[in-house]
Amino acid sequence: MEISSEVGSTLSDRIRRGDVLAAACPSRAVLRHLTSQWGVLILIVLEEGTFRFSTLRRRIDGVSERMLAQTLKALEGDGLVRRTSFDTVPPHVEYSLTDLGRQAARRVRDLVDWVETSLPAILDARDEAGRRSA
């Protein structure tokens, strides 16, 4: 990571740009949250709108309550997801993307779109690799 030498400034003032290839750079943890199995899927669903926990859980086939809660918390901690709770009975909680989250989600969506549309070619390549190693 590129770090300036200003004294008395906060970490975010001093880091000009992260470097994910450096194990100690905090960008690596952020990347891990974004690219975790459930992080990716949460971002692309929230790109479509604001949802309650139960809706997110239904949309993301296979996610457990625990993993959904944990991943939402990590993304909230990175400032990518906003959790809004309404003071109703029963309490009502909604999740949406922040501006930063929308920027991240756009890149994640590009990657997911590529995987989804390239799947036939990838499956062909996989068959071929299987034949070569057989």
By C-alpha distance, which of 30, 29, 70, 36 is closest to 53? 70
Nearer to a copy of itself, 5 or 89 (CB): 5
Contacts of 82 (CB under 8 A, 6+ apart): 76, 95, 96, 97, 98, 101
Contacts of 76 (CB under 8 A, 6+ apart): 82, 83
- Please report how close the Cβ of residue 31 comes to a copy of itself at its closest, in angstroms: 5
Nearer to a copy of itself, 7 or 24 (CB): 24
Nearer to a copy of itself, 25 or 68 (CB): 25
Helix, coil or strand: residue 119 = helix
Contact 76, 82 (CB under 8 A): yes
- Please report how close the Cβ of residue 45 comes to a copy of itself at its closest, in angstroms: 7
* List of residues contacting a copy of itself (CB under 8 A): 1, 10-13, 15-28, 30-32, 34-37, 40-41, 44-45, 59-62, 76-80, 98, 100, 103-104, 107-108, 110-112, 114-130
Nearer to a copy of itself, 38 or 89 (CB): 38
